[in-house]
Structure 1
């Protein structure tokens, strides 16, 4: 018998490859009955909420484990650049593992997920502002625009992986270099 976590993992893998999969087809793809899936997740929204929470946990962990706040506060360009490189690796991993959650409009309608999303975005925007002050990122762009740019790169990464346009092993470097060329300080 699969645990709730295993069911969630399998559901996420299926939804990453086919976001329109119905709950019945999802259960069949996982290898369980619809009733079993409903015991774990009473509705599609309950499943989406848990996927969203897991994606946000990963995102929050990326900020914590890279020392993003401390790196930004240090003002040290090298430390900030290294943190940005590590964050990019985490972001690509998040885009790969949680592709379905990355741009799901139904999740955006869940206030508790959006509140947490906004908190994480605000922390990143502050980090990007620190990176601008340190000369790592262009200072002529709004820090929020840089955040939107990073999000756009994650959508691009997700699509490149989904379509097989880019090898996964190359994606971290591609995203990081694209970010720095587009938003890096050219002085």
Structure 2
């Protein structure tokens, strides 16, 4: 019999491939019947809420492991840059697992998940503001804009992987470079 964790993993993988998957599709992907799936989750919304919470758990774990608060108070540009690059790589790794949660409208609008996501975003925005103050990131835009751009880049990276536009082995470098330097050709003025 599949455990709740195994079912959630199978559901995430299925929804990452096809966000419109039905509960029957998800049950089949988990190798269980619909009745078993419904013993674990009362319905699709319950399942999506759990996947969203898992996504937020991972985000929080990444911020905690990076010791974002300590990094922000250090004012060390090299440490800030290294933390940004590391977090971007980890976010990309996580988007392989949680890509569905990045764009699902139910997950993005569920009040409990939204409130928690906003609190985590504030921690990340603090990191971006510290990186701006240290000269690592441009300071002519708000740190909230940088946060939105980071999110957009993660969604773009997920979509590029799905389309086969960027090999997974190159994605961390491409995204970090794009995040830190933009789309401009190196050494070329705007």
What is the TM-score normalised by the length of structure 2? 0.94
Answer yes or no: is 1:155 the counterpart of 2:158. no
Give 1:100's aligned residue. 100
Cα offsets for 1:84-108 (capped at 9, x unmatched):
0111011101211101101111112
Aligned to 1:8: 8
1:165 Cα deviation from its structure 2 partner: 1.6
Supply the distance in 1 between the matched residues of 2:160 and 2:108 (Cα, whole angstroms). 23
2: CA distance between counterparts of 1:113 and 1:29?
25
Contact 2:12 2:98 in 1 (8 A): yes
- 2:27, 2:37 within 8 Å by CA — same for their partners in 1? yes
Identify the residue that residue 176 of structure 2 maps to in structure 1.
176
Shift of residue 52, structure 1, vs aligned partner: 0.4
Please say if residues 101 and 108 of structure 2, whose CA atoms lie closer than 8 Å, have aligned partners that are also in contact: no
Q: TM-score, normalised by structure 1?
A: 0.95
Moved beyond 2 Å, runs of 4+: none
Count of residue pairs brought into register by the alignment? 184
What SS class does the counterpart of residue 128 from structure 1 fall into?
helix
Residue aligning to 2:75: 75
Q: Does 1:137 align with 2:140?
A: no
Is the 8 Å Cα contact of residues 7 and 30 (structure 2) preserved in structure 1? yes
Work out the CA distance in 2 between the residues paired with 1:164 and 1:28: 26
Please give the alpha-carbon distance, in whole angstroms, between the structure 2 residues aligned to 1:125 and 1:67: 14
Deviation at 1:45, TM superposition (A): 0.5
Q: Provide the C-alpha distance between the structure 2 equivalents of 1:59 and 1:89, rounded to a whole number of angstroms.
A: 12
How many angstroms apart in 1 are the aligned matches of 2:128 and 2:18?
Answer: 33
How far, CA to CA, are the matches of 1:28 and 1:126 in structure 2? 42
Counterparts of 1:20-35 in structure 2, within 5 Å, are 20-35=20-35
* 8 Å Cα contact 1:96/1:161 also seen in 2: no
Unaligned ranges ≥5, structure 1: none
CA distance in 2: counterparts of 1:141 and 1:171, whole angstroms: 25
RMSD: 1.3
